Amino acid sequence: MNSMNDEPVAVIVKRQFPRQRQRVFDAFSSAENIARWLSPDKTIKMSVLSMSFELQGGFRFQFDEPDGERNVVGGVFRLIDTPEKIVFSWTWEDPHQFANIPTQVTVEFIDQVEQTEVVLTHEKLPTDAACEMHKQGWIGALNQLGDSY
């Protein structure tokens, strides 16, 4: 009935970029580059407070919203496999709604014909045997479940 019984809850976002893999990877690997794009939208300004892109190196990013709300997230690079994969922890600081909840982000860079696919998995608990389709299906189901109330 349920062959996949133990996969953690996760957010999975996939996107194809019409650029070479190394170029896409480089957008993640320096403070200067990552500050240019990592925020939910253009009205929210992201500033890199610190970033040491190396194994066990840390980072802190600050997000400033137009209404003055400010949130800071911190983490540690747990795996850097240039230009294929980056894994880092991601923990919001107080007073963020989800402060102090340890999460992990895995970014995979997949070489395709004239493009690079990026698969980002943000999860509450680490996993190495994720069944993507199943999770995607569950997120959809969860949303529907919420809608019915």
Partner 1 sequence: MNRQRRAVSPQVDFHTIDGIVSHMAIQSQAALDLTFHALGDGTRRQMLAMLSEAGSLSAKDLHAPFPVAQPTISKHIKVLERANLVIRKVEGRIHRFTINAEQLKHAEQWINKHRALWEGAFDQLDEFLANTDE
Listed residue (140, 106, 148, 141) closest to 123, CA to CA: 106
Neighbouring residues of 91: CB distance < 8 A, sequence distance ≥ 6: 73, 74, 75, 99, 100, 101, 102, 103
Counting residues that bind partner 1 (by CB under 8 A) gives 51
DSSP state of 38: -
Binding of partner 1 by 24 (CB under 8 A): yes
Closest to partner 1 by CB, 84 or 136: 136
Closest to partner 1 by CB, 49 or 145: 145
Place of tokens 């133990």: 6
Which positions lie near partner 1, rule CB under 8 A?
A: 1-9, 11, 13, 15, 17, 19, 23-24, 27, 33, 36-42, 76, 89, 91, 94, 97-103, 118, 120, 122, 124-126, 138-139, 141-143, 145-146, 148-149
